[in-house]
Amino acid sequence: MDITVVHHPFGVAEVTVAGRLNMVTAARLREAIQGAVDDHHPNAAVDLSRVVFLDSSGLGALIASLKAVRAAGGDLRLVAPAEQAQLVLELTNMSSVLASFDSVDAAFPHD
């Protein structure tokens, strides 16, 4: 799995995950988002369009990160989840808690 973090204005961190988000890689996502929070980018836009596989461990990392960014006054929103990730979000009733948007700009519009 690859994670890239790109900082945007207004404290938005675009976190792009590619590959499998599972038990092996979940911790790395948490660390990446915590790193962005520590760099004063508590608004995490997590791009899941290139995630080929998400499981309950990956989902757990997303929820833990959601709590972390909220504690820092930010939010975590998903961008364009791939088909399998979308399926997992729906099966676990998490699509309302972890809202999905088409793009980073749509996730965190600069008003």
Instruction: Give residues in contact with another protein (CB under 8 A).
Output: 20, 22-24, 53, 55-57, 59-61, 63-64, 66-67, 83-84, 87-88, 91-94, 97
CB of 33 to another protein, least distance (A): 14
Find out whether 10 and 108 touch, Cβ atoms under 8 Å.
yes
- Look up residue 105 and give its amino acid: D
Which is closer to another protein, CB of 23 or CB of 106? 23
Tell me the residue length of the chain. Answer: 111
CB of 22 to another protein, least distance (A): 5
Q: Which of 109, 56, 49, 58 is nearest to 83 (CA)?
A: 49
Which is closer to another protein, CB of 43 or CB of 65? 65
Which is closer to another protein, CB of 76 or CB of 80? 76
Which is closer to another protein, CB of 51 or CB of 104? 51
CB of 53 to another protein, least distance (A): 7
Q: What is the DSSP string of 20-38?
A: EESTTTHHHHHHHHHHHHH
Find out whether 37 and 70 touch, Cβ atoms under 8 Å.
no
